[in-house]
Structure 1
Amino acid sequence: MEHSALLDLADRFGHPVLDGSLPASSATFADGARFRIEIPSCEGPDVFAAVLEEAQARDVRIDRVSQGSGVMMLTDAEIRRMAAMGADAGVEVNLFIGPRGAWDIGGQAKATAAAGGAARGNTTLAACVNEALRAVDLGIRSLLVGDVGVLEVLGRMKAEGVLPAELALKTSVLMPLANAPTGAVYERLGATSLNVSTDLPVRDIAEIRAATSAAVDVYVEVPDDQGGAVRFYDVAALIRSAAPVYVKLGVRNAPNIYPSGHHLATVATALGRERVRRAELVLTLLADLAPDLAERPKSDTPPTDLRIPVV
């Protein structure tokens, strides 16, 4: 089949290949912002406190923090404390749910990162559902999902009113999202925030935007175990072509700290502070390269689509 015929076939199924200059995305978050800042790997209330302190010192506005060790690695008191801190600061708190394949007894998930977030068997899926219910009961309104079956079940639970309708379901980087049809499937299953694969060029991310309405989450500095790219100079093009975007700051040359705990408190806190510093670098560069994109609306109340904890 000729190349032009292949392009026509993709277009017929609603997923055209973007050639040449990329169209600008006119979509925004509820408050009109085209991007937000997310600090990932915020492993517990002490790290969260350090992130908020660093953000205030550097005048960096943080919109969302996400945690990767999971609900199962936090006590009720720790979750309640994080929820209270998020509510007070107007920051969404996103917690990873459930056991994952990479920590299970099986060998495949340890051999390939693509299976690392899988929920192995219905017993593990049920455990993930339990984690979601526990987090919601403690005030969390944003969950990080690493398995497509878990996403489908949680989406149904929201539709049936078992989970709050406003609950955010954010897909994890452990769920590969490398093309537009996959993004559309995740959104149909209930995803409200889509973590795209870390190695996609801006064009491919723009294609995902064209096929979905959910926010896209883009690592602009990627942890080493997810590819290690540093993409600060892509930020303006990402925002222009794929808004609304969560700009995520990992840190290269840093250890994987999952599951975290008191034995890693010093390094987890230092990494949290450094992620905020990285955010300051990105925001400064964005203001220099694309001042029209750098400004964000300011309000005394959080935007309606930011899932602040309920306390």
Structure 2
Amino acid sequence: MTETVGLFRHTREELADYLRLAADEGITTVFSVGPRATYDTSPTRLTPHGSFLGYRLRGVDQIRRALDDVLRGLELGCRSFVVYDEGLLKTLGQARKGGLLPADTTFKASAHLGYANPISISMLEELGADSINPVRDLSLPAIAAVRQHIAVPLDVHTDNPPSSGGFIRTYEAPDIVRVARPVYLKTGNSVVGAHGQFTRAEDGERMADQASITLEVVQRFASEFTQSPAGAPAPVNAVSTRVAGEETAGCLR
């Protein structure tokens, strides 16, 4: 389960509660790094041109703040983070490799980075991403091409809010699994209006319903594939250390 509002938008007590609830249910929780362009003081991001900036960090101070946000999450027991900036990903990857971060810390590259071709996406893997979200509207052949160039799991959105297209690919989900596995099917965002919003309990119920529908369709049309069990370990630095056949939490393979 992925949180997208940002770590620094939640109190320590809230974060501890989220992690405790997830652990009780055997769910892997991935928290988003808080600092990003959309929270910064930049007027450019509000212009049409600003849409090209994504959530990238502006200046060294924002890199430092983003690193502190990750350290805050680690102190509370979080081990999985969504990363929105290539420089931050490189820094985190080097810190983990150098033993400055726990070895079981994992990083998920966000779709907000805007990567859409296999060569560019492979660079994210080299920087330390343990799973990667390409842009949300890639065709099946384009997704298949990405899979041929990387070893880490992909995150592929099967539905989206109106702010990023509003498309629902539920019936494509079985074929997405076929071409992208190991893959996380990102589902549930279509119940809200935009990305990175606070959600209500009823939103969570509708998201769970959408996930259930997606799983039903996959089981109906791609029953030969299996989902890794809840609580299975996420891969760390999969390029160099992942063992063939290793289970990845929540992945379809």
Structure of greater Rg: 1
Cα RMSD between the aligned structures? 1.9
Change in 2 beyond 3 A, CA 1:154/1:225? same
Matched residue, 1:38? none
Percentage of matched positions with identical amino acids: 26
C-alpha displacement of 1:228: 1.5
- Cα displacement string for residues 202-258 of structure 1 (whole angstroms, at most 9, x for unaligned residues): 111111111111110011001221222110111111111110110111343632374
- Cα displacement string for residues 73-124 of structure 1 (whole angstroms, at most 9, x for unaligned residues): 1111111111112222211111111311012121232334332311110001
The gaps in structure 2 that reach 5 residues or longer are: 235-247
Could you tell me whether the CA contact under 8 Å between 2:188 and 2:208 is conserved in 1? no
Distance 2:69 2:62 in 1: 11
Matches within 5 A, 1:36-185: 65-111=1-47, 112-185=50-123
Matched residue, 1:304? 233
Could you tell me whether the CA contact under 8 Å between 1:235 and 1:286 is conserved in 2? yes
Distance 1:272 1:114 in 2: 30
Output the amino acid matched with 2:233: T
1:216 and 2:154 matched? yes
Matches within 5 A, 1:159-308: 159-252=97-190, 254-256=192-194, 258=196, 260=198, 268-293=200-225, 295-296=226-227, 298=229, 302-305=231-234
Matched residue, 1:263? none
Aligned positions, number: 235
Could you tell me whether the CA contact under 8 Å between 1:141 and 1:307 is conserved in 2? no
| Structure 1 stretches of at least 4 aligned residues deviating more than 6 Å after TM superposition | none
The gaps in structure 1 that reach 5 residues or longer are: 1-64, 261-266
Distance 1:222 1:69 in 2: 16
Distance 1:283 1:259 in 2: 24
SS class of match (2:77): coil
- Cα displacement string for residues 139-161 of structure 1 (whole angstroms, at most 9, x for unaligned residues): 00000101111111111110111
Higher relative contact order (CA 8 A, sep 6+): 1
Q: TM-score if structure 2 supplies the norm length? A: 0.87
Distance 2:169 2:77 in 1: 34
Distance 2:15 2:217 in 1: 34
